[in-house]
Structure 1
Amino acid sequence: MRLALAHLGRQESLPRLLKILVPLVHQAREEGALALLLPELVLGRQGEEDLPQALEALAGESRMRVVAGYLAQGPRNRLGVFPQGPFYDKVHPFLALGEEGDEGVEPGEGPVVWEFQGRRFGLALCYDLDFPELFRSYALMGVEAFLVGSAWPGEYGELLLVLARARAAENQAYLLLANRADTGSPSFAVAPDGHLLGLKDEEGLLLFDLDFAFLEAYRTRYPILRHRRPEAYRL
């Protein structure tokens, strides 16, 4: 299954976003991708009530799934799959002292699984990567790949790679992360064994083929989830 992610910066308005996004969606479709992952808060922290409708229309017209991060009513930091959902609200708002974060944002209620083409994808946003419990919950729900929208600060770029590779490897799942280019951190994909499949630090598209036959064989050879002993370490 071929998926694409877009490494692009925060846009100041919906028309400006669509001017950049429409060609990317069509390029991804022409290159065989079935879905395109966008970063967290593609319009920054400003709300834009017309954004979901615009993405719904673009996804429908292009016959392409578009997964995008934006500020929804609540307010909530949301990652939505267009057209028709599902929609994930960030479970762990970033509230670090002294840094711009998710102040005033309501936390989401829990994990959201997107079922697509017979596969199960777990949705997450940025700071969620610091919480392995969320990703393990997804793995126990049968998720095979994580889609993460992000606006991760460049000064912590090394930490981002460490966390993403750990979340993929410990759950034996693919992880695709689309980061906002204006933050200084890259966008990339990680394989179920933790190795980096590819990385992009300039604006544009990155495409990946997810090999689910490899995933199934790898999980059979190293059945980490079956070897868990939750009775020995209650949290």
Structure 2
Amino acid sequence: MSVFTLAGLQLELDPHQNNFEHISAEVLSLKKRFPNLQMIMLSELCNCGPAPRFAEPMPGPLEDAYSELAMQAEVYLVTGSLFERDQERIFNTLSVLSPKGEVIARYRKIFPFLPYEEGVSCGEDFVTFDIPGVGCFGLSICYDMWFPETIRALTWKGAEVILHPTLTNTIDRDVELAIARANAATNQCYMVDINGAGKLGMGRSIVVGPGGDVVYQAGETQESIVVDIDFDYVRRVRETGWHSLGQPLKSFRDNPVVYPQYQKGAGSAALNALGPLQKPAKPDWSE
């Protein structure tokens, strides 16, 4: 199978309540409208908003509810992310459920939006999963994308499509669109970046092809974004270049350079001089 049809739901949701019933209705309505849909993806923390107090263990009741929804809709369902409690720690965790309701992947956000995403621990594992006969998907959440090493690691593991839910309601959304395009081009992969809308985000979700080309960019209000992902196309781009141009993955593979910043014990006087990771201090106007 070359073409895989997926949808991103850019929903207007309430950050102060459990949105599961609303999300469930939207998922089922979309699958009824587009019966050929194979995957539906939600935005980051769409269920209860950015509130760690709603964290629960995984498996747990909320993830189980999404498993039931995946079975009911008969799709692969990407939860966006939920807060996961693991003993004393909380993670921002994305689950992927199969059409049979099975958890086929969980990914803990490696780069919480510090110093603002307080009380959330960093994940450690880069997660990909295969859909037999289709291809390889990689998982990333919001701020992860700002660190090119994360997308390169997923590509190194074989990812051809990066599923990237986000929750952005700040002025840097325009920058994120550029980062999504750059990551897609430099890693010759699809980037599916789905943001929330309304009170939970400013929308402008984007789907980018393996040449950095914009497949679709949403507006700022609620949208259902249905696109076809062509795995033959991404493989051809990796083999011969986008429009017969650069082949960056092969060049990265074959280049003998050793990157000093990744060597064991490597330090950086320039980075160390930046000081601690903390919120900007209140100005002292007395001086």
TM-score, normalised on structure 1?
Answer: 0.91
Matched, 1:177 2:193: yes
1:38 maps to 42
2:129 maps to 114
1:224 maps to 248
How far does residue 171 in structure 1 lie from its aligned partner after superposition?
A: 0.2
Q: Which has the larger radius of gyration?
A: 2
The superposition leaves residues 41-63 of structure 1 with CA deviations (integer Å, 9 ceiling, x where unpaired) of 11112415432111011111221
With over 3 angstroms needed to count, the CA separation of the structure-2 counterparts of 1:148 and 1:232, relative to structure 1, is same
Counterpart Cα distance in 2 of 1:145 and 1:29: 25
1:5 maps to 8
Counterpart Cα distance in 1 of 2:130 and 2:154: 12
SS at match of 1:87: strand
Contact 1:189 1:197 in 2 (8 A): yes
Contact 1:25 1:64 in 2 (8 A): no
The superposition leaves residues 24-79 of structure 1 with CA deviations (integer Å, 9 ceiling, x where unpaired) of 34423641211111011111124154321110111112211110111111311011
One-letter amino acid of the counterpart of residue 86, structure 1:
A
Task: Using the aligned pairs only, state the percent identity.
Answer: 27
Counterpart Cα distance in 1 of 2:113 and 2:143: 6
SS at match of 2:126: coil
Contact 1:24 1:205 in 2 (8 A): no
The superposition leaves residues 130-181 of structure 1 with CA deviations (integer Å, 9 ceiling, x where unpaired) of 1000110111111100000100233112101011111111000001011011
The superposition leaves residues 169-203 of structure 1 with CA deviations (integer Å, 9 ceiling, x where unpaired) of 10000010110113214112000000111122321
How far does residue 21 in structure 1 lie from its aligned partner after superposition?
A: 2.9
2:165 maps to 149
1:140 maps to 156
Unaligned runs of 5+ in 1: none
Counterpart Cα distance in 2 of 1:114 and 1:38: 17
1:89 maps to 108
SS at match of 1:75: strand
TM-score, normalised on structure 2?
Answer: 0.75
Name the Cα RMSD after superposition. 1.7
Matched, 1:64 2:67: no
1:75 maps to 90
Contact 1:152 1:160 in 2 (8 A): no
Q: Which has the higher helix share?
A: 1
Unaligned runs of 5+ in 2: 242-246, 262-287
With over 3 angstroms needed to count, the CA separation of the structure-2 counterparts of 1:183 and 1:23, relative to structure 1, is closer
Counterpart Cα distance in 2 of 1:196 and 1:183: 21
The superposition leaves residues 80-122 of structure 1 with CA deviations (integer Å, 9 ceiling, x where unpaired) of 11231310000001114xxxx3211011012100211431111
2:259 maps to 233
With over 3 angstroms needed to count, the CA separation of the structure-2 counterparts of 1:29 and 1:215, relative to structure 1, is farther
Counterpart Cα distance in 2 of 1:23 and 1:39: 13
SS at match of 2:125: coil
